[in-house]
Chains A and B, each alone.
Chain A
Amino acid sequence: MPIHDLGYRHWESNAWSTMRWWVIAQTGIRLAWKSHWLRRMLLIAWLPAVGMGAALFAYERSLTADPGGTVTQEILRLLPNSDSVLRSTIIDPAGARGEIWGFILLTFFRYPQGLLMVLLVGLIAPSLIARDMRSRAYLLYFSRPLGRADYVLGKCVIVWFYLAMITTVPAMALYVLGVFLSPSLSVVSDTWDLPLRILGASVWLIVPTTAVALCFSSLTSESRYAGFAWFVTWILGWVAYSNLTFFDLQRAGQPGAADSSGSRWALVSLYHSLGRVQSWVFGLENDAATVIAPLALLMLITLVSFAILFRRVSAPLRA
């Protein structure tokens, strides 16, 4: 028993904040942070930034120490899908600065962070709404002056926060590090648009993936089913894309067929659709025709996911 029990007292409850979504987000972020796996994942997320930082440093150094750009070419060859950037580097290593930086940042987004994104969202998002349904917490939430939009936004911000921690923040840090490591100040004028492109690529990555993950979470009260659906979506999409492009290439039997086949089948895989759009955001995909379809697909998926999400969130109350 308390030493000094005040009993029940009236309380001046002048509402201080109407940002109730932020209360949900803050509490969710704190709860997710309790996971050891999540903390490890966030730590690991910074390691690729170190590698990419080394690549940027080597490129910037080569502009003064290695005018032929052989070191840069060797580094770029280590990165996947670097053919087009390599061609630009051979023609004009200094003139391709913006393209090379954009390519390194895209690689950072696409490969290490892409994989980490799938794992991280699969770790935190499936339980966010499913657990509230299982514990009937929605009755407590919605007995307060809280709307569906507040609830959904609060849950989204939890995922957005952690996704930004493994994509936007390391990418921005990588950019800043690259600028500081560059021997020439002209790097700022050549790459000033990259922070904006990082933000754009982050939005295209974070918003649709969060919508899909929370949509799965809202469809069941068992978070393991939501997690299963999430991983299956990515794996099946990736496998389908790989197989379809492989068969296409075999049938065509010509080297140039890879690009056209890739853009044709990108729609079957969320991962590859995202890749196309991010590539366009970083200015590496100039053919608008190959981007419109993935762009529309991502928007459609986002809208449908949010529509289902909003409907499912209020469904238990209507019952």
Chain B
Amino acid sequence: MHPLIRLENISKDYNRLRALDGVTLEIPAGITGLLGPNGAGKTTLIKVLLGLVRTSGGTGHVLGLQLGKEAREIRRRVGYMPEDDCYIPGLSGVEMLQFMVRLSGQRAIEGLRRAHEILDYCSIGQERYRDVTTYSNGMRQKLKFAQAIAHDPPLLILDEPTAGLDPAERQAMLNRIRWLAAEAGKTVLISTHILPDVQTICDNVVIMARGRIRLIERLEVLSRPAAPALQIRVVGPAESLVRRIQEEGFAVQPGEHGTLTIRGLDESSADRVWHWAAQLGVGIRSLTHAKNSLEAVFLDAIKENGVANP
């Protein structure tokens, strides 16, 4: 698939600090999670993509437009949701959204119509008429998201989109992002620390540390364990079943929330597990093929000389 973001050997220095060090990456359509510890260079990378900071070296294209030279055109076609708590003081929610749409070059009346439409989509009700300074963190988060999508950009860059949201709102936000990518054809780049969010909605993962790209891969590939394995959860004590599986010559590794990972068995061997459980009278609550935990992949990727060092 044609990459929408393509960077080649991008570097960025802040005086003596190298924030980006030879970043080369291609981001295809779909949802990409940008992960990295604090200070990894994620925010600098986003600023480079938006043309807000000049690079110290390297070239790149966003949506086919050249970085730096066509920064304004890039910003016209990109929706950016900053991580920081930011708002235009003195305006109500709907006024702020209309203002942002107008900054994209639209007429006032058209901007107002679009603002209402997007606020409805983001479930911001009558609060839209209140001054944004009175909004809660969650409301501001939704408003920031609304301004990022209001001008219908083909590329969305979302920095910590679910930070500060309650579980229900978080789920709603993730659903919106997923819908926009799947149904509205948006390409989404999400920078976040919340790994379960990435695991829930992302197609691709980019992991950064110390200004370098450590890993770029499809999430599906990352989740696949090196050797076949099954993951089961049982009802009640599992000791007898564990003993039986070990007697059959397979390694069993206990995990979180009572899960057991059985190494060496794939889905085609699931019948055998059901059979052993039935023989021992052990109830199986769930049986799936095992996935690599993104947390383990992440920690492994950011390791410096074999030591986790952000």
Contacts and interface: CB of A to CB of B under 8 A. Distances in A.
Interface size class of B (residues with CB under 8 A): 35 or more
A147 B72 contact: yes
B149 A8 contact: yes
A142 B100 CA distance: 11
B105 A18 contact: yes
Interface string B54-85: 00000000000000000011011010101011
B151 interface: yes
A140 B76 contact: no
A27 interface: yes
Given A24-B103, A146-B103, 19 more contacts: A1-B123, A7-B121, A13-B105, A13-B106, A15-B105, A18-B105, A135-B88, A137-B87, A139-B84, A139-B86, A140-B144, A142-B75, A143-B75, A143-B78, A143-B82, A144-B103, A145-B75, A145-B103, A146-B72
A17 B149 CA distance: 19
A88 B10 CA distance: 72
A16 B111 CA distance: 11
Interface size class of A (residues with CB under 8 A): 35 or more
Nearest to B72: A145
Interface string A129-170: 001101111111111111100000000000000000000000
Nearest to A18: B105
A2 interface: yes
A205 B218 CA distance: 61
- Identify the 3 closest CB pairs spanning chains A and B, nearest first: A15-B105, A136-B86, A143-B80
A31 B96 CA distance: 12
Interface in B137-159: 144, 147-149, 151-152
A318 B103 contact: no
A20 interface: yes
B217 interface: no
Contacts, number: 115
A16 B52 CA distance: 24
Interface of B: 14, 47, 50, 52-53, 72-73, 75-76, 78, 80, 82, 84-91, 95, 99-100, 102-107, 110, 114, 117-118, 120-121, 123, 125, 133, 144, 147-149, 151-152, 176, 179-180, 184
A23 B103 CA distance: 7
Q: For the complex, would chain A's binding face be called helix, strand, loop or mixed by DSSP majority?
A: loop
B125 A1 contact: yes
A146 B148 CA distance: 15
A195 to B, nearest CB: 32
A34 interface: yes
